A = this chain, B = another copy of it.
């Protein structure tokens, strides 16, 4: 029946993309539950029924959005290998790249996922395993290596990962909440994060001991 017509395949892929784009936009505006299939169809410029030719159900649209996030996430891997320059340079490069990846996939998709992830068990697990966990797996060896070489102070590596990941996540949340300061200064974040992460807030090493009461 379905001859593997490459032109057909492209049309289908294009239609899927068109629908997922619309769904992302609409879900981001109204939230997954409040958005209706009619809303999505209208935004995509198709009939209600057409959506069901490409997605099994409304929740399936959500998975479609998540999968696109995963894909753009995966494409980042090679870049993460750039281990050139000083530790500081590498760190800054990593942070910058992570923020760019996030920005690249669009804040709308993130808004959709983050708003659902806390109250949708299965989606939450999938998101953690497929999006968050992989970032841990990539950053952890780097952190361990620096700690072993005495470049980084010895602390619980896994927890540090949570700290870093949490910082990214939290900054995105604040931005999505509409904090104007953060929107305005978003491009200054890589430097700020790098500095605090490596050196902390304290003015210099001497201040760091507790004897200075």
Most buried by B among A28, A124, A163, A168: A163
Contacts of A31 in B (CB 8 A): 33, 116, 118-120
A103 at the A/B interface (Cβ < 8 Å)?
Answer: no
Contacts of A202 in B (CB 8 A): 87, 151-153, 198-199
Cβ contacts A111-152/B at 8 Å (1 or 0 each):
100111111100011011000100000000000001000111
Contacts of A179 in B (CB 8 A): 128, 132, 162
Size class of A's contact patch? 35 or more
A213 at the A/B interface (Cβ < 8 Å)?
Answer: yes
Interface residues of A (CB under 8 A from B): 27-34, 85-89, 111, 114-120, 124-125, 127-128, 132, 146, 150-153, 155-156, 158-160, 162-163, 165-174, 176-179, 181-182, 185, 188-189, 192-193, 195-208, 210, 212-213
Q: What copy number does this chain have within its complex?
A: 4
Q: Is A88 in contact with B198, judged by CB distance below 8 angstroms?
A: no
Q: Contact check: which of B111, B117, B170, B174 meets A119 at CB < 8 Å?
A: B111
Complex Cα distance, B210 from A52, in Å, reads: 56
Contacts of A128 in B (CB 8 A): 177-179
Please name the residue on chain B nearest to A149 by beta carbon.
Answer: B203
Shortest Cβ distance from A204 into chain B, in angstroms? 6
